[in-house]
Amino acid sequence: ACFPTFECPAMTSQINRQYQLAQRPSGLPGRDTFSFVETPLGEPAEGQILVKNEYLSLDPAMRGWMNDARSYIPPVGIGEVMRALGVGKVLVSKHPGFQAGDYVNGALVVQDYFVGEPKGFYKVDPSRAPLPRYLSALGMTGMTAYFALLDVGQPKNGETVVISGAAGAVGSVAGQIARLKGCRVVGIAGGAEKCRFLVEELGFDGAIDYKNEDLAAGLKRECPKGIDVFFDNVGGEILDTVLTRIAFKARIVLCGAISQYNNKEAVRGPANYLSLLVNRARMEGMVVMDYAQRFPEGLKEMATWLAEGKLQSREDIVEGLETFPETLLKLFSGENFGKLVLKV
Ligand code: NAP
């Protein structure tokens, strides 16, 4: 009960539950991918902080971090606590940049408490937005949508923008921004309820339920003038089909390829890539971390749109650190509806 101060002797017996990476999965990760361990909670040393983790961001990218492969970030090591961004409350600070009581956003990893150097951490204000929103529209997810669409996709007024994974965290924000820029926006999502949400609640011009209708026919119906910008979160067959309907000088933003992350075989590449040649189009990858310096600019505009009611952010919050392995799988089955957040 005397937590959170170190004057309290009970503190030293505090337990920190952690999900450590136990083995590298082949295909979908499962409970045996991780060990759920209880470790004693240490005290922060000079330059470190102790944070009570409140919400963790569950991201498709986590699957990639489990692979022993070269990527834009090193993989999580076996025995290391699984990497995750999160928001939490500083309980003790021995770092000049933070004080007890501050709320922070950073790589808190999959555990109850974070003790360490707050490298890359920044403060968030819980009085301005609910904490989970700092992991969705006002966090890495929102910044991905914002910079991938505007900087890489460069949509122009009147153009047609198609988004895959459109009802997801990144896709739903990217689509709304494209609408704000005066584009015709068509979402591709799984299931009638997600498609209804896109059109009726987020104002998309059209939606295609790739699980229950023919995608090529849907694209023909919704994009009669072709596709100027394709914001791809999914890859695989969806990317290949969209390539058959791109317009002259189209831009394809490679944000993600979730359909390929759990492949046991080689990633499926686009067979229809000659469409890029014929249409003088380009396809470009994007990693949000490259835009870290510009986050303040993006966050300011996103916060304004949210405050003005021009942008909606939907979070899908699941409770309980212990549910992490099963909750993560919702991303790959499509069971999440909005930004998937784990309440610790
Ligand atoms: P999300 O879209 O909220 O959740 C994942 C969604 O993907 C699921 O709800 C599901 O929606 C769809 N999906 C899963 N498996 C699929 C499959 N086999 N085929 C088609 N759709 C499938 O997740 P998010 O966090 O916003 O991430 C979206 C994408 O952005 C991911 O590819 C992620 O890696 C990428 N991303 C990239 C960056 C970057 O810097 N490049 C940063 C953040 C995220 P349905 O119900 O519609 O199937």
Write the pLDDT tens digit of every residue in 327-338: 999 999 999 999
DSSP string, 243-293: HTTEEEEEEEEE---GGGTT-SSPPPPPTTTHHHHHTT-EEEE--GGGGGG
Please give the span between the terminal C-alpha atoms of the chain, in angstroms, as a whole number. Answer: 18
| Residue 282: partners with Cβ closer than 8 Å, 6 or more residues away | 250, 251, 252, 276
> Above pLDDT 90, what percent of the chain?
94
Residue 227 has pLDDT above 60, yes or no: yes
Whole-angstrom Cα distance, residue 225 to residue 203? Answer: 20
Task: Give the per-residue pLDDT at 1.
Answer: 37
Whole-angstrom Cα distance, residue 103 to residue 204? Answer: 34
Whole-angstrom Cα distance, residue 301 to residue 297? Answer: 7
The pLDDT confidence band at residue 213, using thresholds 50, 70 and 90, is: very high
Greatest alpha-carbon span in the chain: 71
Mean pLDDT computed over 256-262: 97
CA of 331 to the centre of ligand 1 (A): 7
Coil/strand/helix, residue 103: strand
Task: Give the per-residue pLDDT at 11.
Answer: 52
- Tell whether ligand 1 has an atom less than 6 A from the beta carbon of residue 190: yes
Whole-angstrom Cα distance, residue 143 to residue 136? Answer: 9
Mean pLDDT (the chain) is 95
- Torsion angle, CA of 316/321/325/326, rounded to 10 degrees? -50
Mean pLDDT computed over 294-321: 97
Kindly report the number of other CB atoms within 10 A of residue 43's CB atom.
Answer: 12
Pick from 19, 33, 108: nearest CA to 63: 33
Kindly report the number of other CB atoms within 10 A of residue 282's CB atom.
Answer: 12
CA of 233 to the centre of ligand 1 (A): 5
For residue 150, give the DSSP letter.
Answer: I
Q: Taking the CA atoms of 70, 258, 336 and 22 in sequence, report the sign of the dihedral they define.
A: negative
Pick the atom of ligand 1 nearest to 72's CA.
40
Task: Give the per-residue pLDDT at 306.
Answer: 97
CA of 189 to the centre of ligand 1 (A): 10
Pick from 339, 340, 341, 337: nearest CA to 194: 337
- Tell whether ligand 1 has an atom less than 6 A from the beta carbon of residue 29: no
Mean pLDDT computed over 130-144: 97
- Tell whether ligand 1 has an atom less than 6 A from the beta carbon of residue 187: no
Whole-angstrom Cα distance, residue 246 to residue 203? Answer: 23
Cα–Cα distances (Å) from 96 to 53, 118, 126, in that order, read: 20, 11, 21
Evaluate whether 169 touches 143 at the Cβ level (below 8 Å).
Answer: no
Residue 7 has pLDDT above 70, yes or no: no
Q: What's the angle, vertex CA 286, arms to CA 284 and CA 289, rounded to 5?
A: 160
The pLDDT confidence band at residue 201, using thresholds 50, 70 and 90, is: very high
Residue 4 has pLDDT above 70, yes or no: no
- Tell whether ligand 1 has an atom less than 6 A from the beta carbon of residue 171: yes
With residue 135 as reference, give the H or E element that holds it: none
Evaluate whether 57 touches 327 at the Cβ level (below 8 Å).
Answer: no
Retrieve residue 124's tokens.
Answer: 């968030």
The pLDDT confidence band at residue 2, using thresholds 50, 70 and 90, is: very low
